[in-house]
Amino acid sequence: MSELRFIGFRAGPETFLVDIMAVRQIVSYSGSTRVPTAPEFIEGVIVVREQAIPVIDVHSRLFPGHAPASREPLVLLTQTAAGMIGLKVQDVRRVVTVNSEELLPAPATIRGIRGDFLVAIAPHDNEVLLVLDVDGLLTPDEQRQLAGG
């Protein structure tokens, strides 16, 4: 039995989890700068420690067409196969520790909706938490665009 640690955050009506090892930093979000030639899925860029980081709005990515909440968002700076990206989220809930045996596989019919970003379901403290693969939030083509290829 191995324990897995995740960062829990809200995007839309749900709480999602990402591997704590993928998150490098959490920063306040005061807006991003639109870049005219950036791919459509990129909201803009922010500069953190002299590095330009593309930002993806997780709410609009996972719940297209739904109005985002009015809270002050945060950005999770995450390391992906395509490099560092920022995930704009509504709020960061907590660090969650889950035993690997407690994770339930995501049903194939759900995983196939858009990519394989949903990797598991984690029942935890009377909640159903959705485990995301940060790399899976981007299609292979989007990853290539961010990596400059």
Q: Are 42 and 145 in contact (CB under 8 A)?
A: no
Q: Is the pLDDT assigned to residue 45 strictly greater than 80?
A: yes
Sequence-separated (6 or more) residues with CB below 8 Å from residue 131: 6, 16, 17, 18, 103, 106, 118, 119, 120, 121, 122
d(CA 42, CA 145): 11
Note the pLDDT of residue 75.
95
Per-residue pLDDT, 115: 47
Cα dihedral 22/27/32/36 (nearest 10): -20
Query: Which tens digits make up the pLDDT trace of 13-32?
Result: 889 999 999 999 999 998 89
* Cα maximum dimension of the chain: 48
CA-only gyration radius of the chain, Å: 15
Q: Which residues contact 35 (CB under 8 A, 6 or more apart)?
A: 42, 44, 45
The tokens of 140 are what? 């292979």
Residues 6+ apart with CB under 8 A from 102: 122, 123, 124
DSSP 1-32: --EEEEEEEEETTEEEEEEGGGEEEEEE----
pLDDT on residue 25:
95
pLDDT of residue 98: 92
- Band of the pLDDT at 141, cuts 50, 70, 90? confident
